[in-house]
Amino acid sequence: MTPGFERVCVIGLGYVGLPTAAILANRGFHVLGVDVNAKTVSMVSEGSVHFTEPDLDVMVRGAVAAGRLRAAAATEHADVFLVTVPTPFTADKKPDLSFLRSAAQSIAPVLDDGNLIVIESTSPVGTTQAFSEWLAELRPDLSLPHRDGEDAQIHLAHSPERVLPGRILVELVQNDRVIGGLSARCARRAAAFYETFINGECLLTDARTAELVKLVENSYRDANIAFANEVSIICDRLGIDAWEVLRLANRHPRVDILKPGPGVGGHCIAVDPWFIIDSAPDESVLIRAARRVNDAMPVHVVAKVREAAERFKSPCIACLGLSYKADIEDARESPALRIVETLAREGVGKILVVEPHAGGLPAPLDAVPGVTKADLDAALDAADVVVLLVDHRAFAGIDRSRLDGKAVIDTRGLWR
Ligand code: SAJ
């Protein structure tokens, strides 16, 4: 640990904040995790976790027991503030920075000369500068880097998180980090902090560039998936096997097309492109089209299921998987969830949902009649139509003879 960075305050104990807090505490920092959710604060204070991520529970328990990780509702004086709050979008797809603004308000009263603040939340271009401006309004006694540059008392940088759910604790340490300072000194200071606990390389730049880099990464992936999805729709139209086309095309040394699926879910790839579209609406032609293609995929899948179900008198439809991707429980923005909900609401058939990673049905489905949770065996026995929505490992090895005589829609290419 480097002098000057002993006390770290992590604002937002979610998918990124809590694992980061746990890693820092295990490296010997004194960490305070701050969250607006009282349940999260009490769970972490007791050494438990509020979401599933490999090894996180053990790490949090150890850090709390060692007295190096605490959780609270209020921010306290610290050397470093890491901001890991959500940046969702509004109903009309505009970035919602209200959590970041609240974070600035909570930091301002306890801010001291020499403090480092790093925003890790995915942010539209210009957010780090706006954060500095908010702080300047609240603390006119302090000099801030958007105005006072290299000489500012407070150092402010943006370093977007790039971790993949399911591998967060590994990737937090191993991945390279882009670090964009509001001044070169801010970037160097933030890099000095990260170098104390990451093995990846720190790549220094300015804040606006770092903000855009993160948005570009996820928009690239969104566009690549949209391309795969469009190919799969074209293949359906032409009666050609899309998986075979993509397998062969990817044998070209310079072609690497991602996989088609039922749509793009999660809280990152389906959201971040909108931040670019909002900043440069006229220029974001391809990025907007990709969003449209991916958002339309659930409708395409529902149409296929409806067509398959029409062959049966009172169809029973087994929907395998609800999460937004394989082997996790997270169902935020999940296309599988949207598909199941639409099938049920439109009365396409009796729906049996199989989700080995969830206890019960999530809230949006709970209220929908005609949907029941089932185990894999029971669902396969009863189903006329089997719709594979998530490529969970648990579904990979099923005996193919169980699918005989049924209409099968494998949206992930798992059973090829
Ligand atoms: N998907 C496909 N086809 C593919 C790959 C993914 O349909 O070939 C779908 C998935 O099923 C899922 C969605 O896309 O619904 C997104 O899944 P993902 O695993 O690609 O990504 P996330 O959202 O879990 O995490 C991403 C990562 N970004 C990139 O890979 C560029 C991660 O590194 C970021 O930290 C995270 O977004 C984030 O916070 O932005």
Q: Tell me phi and psi for residue 273, to 5 degrees.
A: -55, -30
Is residue 214 part of the annotated active site? The answer reads yes
- Is the CB of 164 within 6 Å of ligand 1? yes
Is residue 268 part of the annotated active site? The answer reads yes
Checking if the pLDDT of 2 tops 80, the result is no
> What pLDDT was estimated at residue 329?
86
Checking if the pLDDT of 231 tops 70, the result is yes
What token pair was written down for 263?
Answer: 């749509």
Query: Any alpha helices (H) in 195-279, and if so which ranges?
Result: 207-238, 242-249, 272-279
Give the Å distance between the CA of 269 and the centre of ligand 1.
Answer: 6
- Is the CB of 321 within 6 Å of ligand 1? no
- Is the CB of 362 within 6 Å of ligand 1? no
Checking if the pLDDT of 3 tops 80, the result is no
* Residue of 159, 218, 333 to mutate, ligand 1, most atoms within 8 A of C-beta: 218
- Is the CB of 61 within 6 Å of ligand 1? no
Ligand 1 atom, smallest distance to 324 CA: 15
Confidence category of residue 235, pLDDT binned at 50, 70, 90: very high
Confidence category of residue 416, pLDDT binned at 50, 70, 90: confident
Q: How far apart are CA 146 and CA 17, in angstroms?
A: 25
Which residue is catalytic, options 9, 186, 202, 214?
214
What pLDDT, in 10s, does the model give residues 347-386?
999 999 999 998 888 888 888 888 999 999 999 999 999 9
- Is the CB of 332 within 6 Å of ligand 1? no
- Is the CB of 264 within 6 Å of ligand 1? yes
Report helix, strand or coil for 226. helix
Which residue is catalytic, options 9, 186, 202, 268?
268
Cβ-Cβ contacts under 8 Å for 86 (sequence gap 6 or more): 12, 14, 99, 121, 267
